[in-house]
Amino acid sequence: MAYDDLRDWIAALDRAGELKKIKTEADPILEIAEITDRVSKRGGPALLFQNVKGYPGSKVLINQFGSARRMNLALDVDSLDQVAERIRGFMDVKSPQGFLDKVKMLPMLAEMGKFFPKTVSTGHCKEVILRDHFSLLDFPVLQCWPKDGGRFITLPCVVTRDPKTGKRNVGMYRIQVYDERTTGMHWQRQKVAAEHYRDRMRAVAVGADASRSAAVDLMARSSGGSQRADGDQPSGRMEVAVAIGTDPALTFSAIVPAPPDVEEYIIAGFLRQKPVELVKCETVDLEVPADAEIVLEGYVNLDELRTEGPFGDHTGFYSLEDQYPVFHVTCITHRKDPIYATTIVGKPPMEDAWMGKAVERIFLPLMKLTIPEIMDVNLPIEGVFHNLMIVSIRKSYPGQARKVMNAVWSLGQAMFTKCIIVVDEDVNVQDIADVTLKVLNHIDPERDIQFTMGPVDSLDHASRLANYGSKMGIDATRKWPTEGFTRPWPDEIVMDAKTKALVDGKWKALARELGIG
């Protein structure tokens, strides 16, 4: 059964032996991060810090998703393949051809109805409502690395609304705390919230042009010329809400590469198999999870940018300073004695690595829907997800590997993949040793490596320009005569099955003699 809220999830972690409660005093400035980094690198448990220096009574939850087992537990499955199978089942639904087909679809339609969020009158996040006297500094927000620009909220669910369609988006963007009531809002230009921001700016610009034209026309028709066109139009605002400390399915949904038209609240409902309950915000026209630990309400001005960063990022390097919108907090609501949920990113493996691998497994069926020849995909943790993708394909025609590379570069966030390696279906992409052996043996570098230019991840510090640079594809599939390769292709060395079975039958005795267990 899905978890009702963060506290229900924490209790489940505790029962499963996946949580350690830390009573030793720890400082949110660097110290909690250093402790968590050491625990994370050892594959350790989720941590609940109960004695946070400078914040008596506060609790900090971190590393909640930091293992394969905890990711399965978070989504209430034995294997992430179960979620992928459910997605595949919905994708296989065909249009009903007759009455009986429609009747057969009723159970599935009823199940789909469970995914949609519902608005309730109130929730735990409204236990304390602060409109006037509040400060972001009252929460134990971490500074994770020595050269960080300050404290950062690192596990927020940031809610915005599409000004054209009215659909909500829930994204996860780091938030640098500047002072008691303002923060940076680090939505990179390719993120959905950034597009909402640009759409708002376009709407304001169109409105300003229309107002200016009307004023000029009025001046032209006036006799006394006392009216004047004023080019200084209101800059406009965009409302934003931030939920901190939500149930694990919703927190995870904020990072998934969902189509822009599908709300993350629906994805969370699908993952948790029951709807997310939402409540209206106090000062902005947005809905937030009713049982969130903390909710920040406010707005960004469309004409206001401020330096944000540096920030120790998941690449293992600091992302550099840049200009981002400023979030002005107008109200804070929270549960009594709220638990502050956060994470730390840095050199892998860390907590975000397991979240990323979950995305890889769960959304493979959607990738196959667009690129059906794909058999499997591996985004190695050390490649920090946007630097390397290894793809195995069922090759059917010459040049297909290059077609797959270009198809991947056309897929949403996958467009930022710096290096794509394509191998044949008999290569286990999850086995890096096997991949390395086959790739380095199979390629002629000049023939099989291609380069292309295009958008790159904002965190790519090596690109020639910010957000724009080169990408590389490697065709490591067997080459065919129809691809201009006329030499014989050698067979892989594999022992015959009869001999292997013979040795298998003797292996226990041999192992004892050899002393290898």
Contact status, residue 243 vs residue 157, Cβ threshold 8 Å: yes
Between CA 311 and CA 32 the distance in angstroms is: 16
Query: What is the per-residue DSSP string for 441-473?
Result: HH--HHHHEEEEEEE--TT-TTSSBTTEEEEEE
Between CA 156 and CA 378 the distance in angstroms is: 27
| Partners of 475 in the β-ladder | 422
Closest CA to 280 of 152, 118, 54, 516: 118
Question: Which sign, positive or negative, has the C-alpha torsion 39, 242, 173, 410?
Answer: positive
**Segments of 115-193 assigned E as strands:** 118-119, 128-130, 151-153, 156-161, 168-171, 175-177, 182-184
Given the residues 27, 148, 247, 313, select the one marked as catalytic: 313
Closest CA to 169 of 241, 118, 112: 241
- The two structure tokens encoding residue 191: 């993120």
Q: At what angle do helices 80-91 and 351-362 cross, to 10 degrees?
A: 30
Between CA 484 and CA 480 the distance in angstroms is: 7
- The two structure tokens encoding residue 46: 């989720």
| Burial (0-12, 13-18, 19+ Cβ within 10 Å), 240 | buried
| Burial (0-12, 13-18, 19+ Cβ within 10 Å), 377 | buried
Contact status, residue 265 vs residue 243, Cβ threshold 8 Å: no
Residue 154 C-beta-side C-alpha neighbours within 13 Å: 28
Q: Long-range CB contacts (< 8 A, 24+ apart) of 191-194?
A: 192/160, 192/260, 193/158, 193/160, 193/169, 193/240
Q: What is the DSSP letter of 78?
A: S
| Burial (0-12, 13-18, 19+ Cβ within 10 Å), 513 | exposed
Helix %, strand %, coil % of the chain (to 5): 35, 25, 40
Residue 287 C-beta-side C-alpha neighbours within 13 Å: 19
Active site residue 313: yes
Residues with a known catalytic role: 313
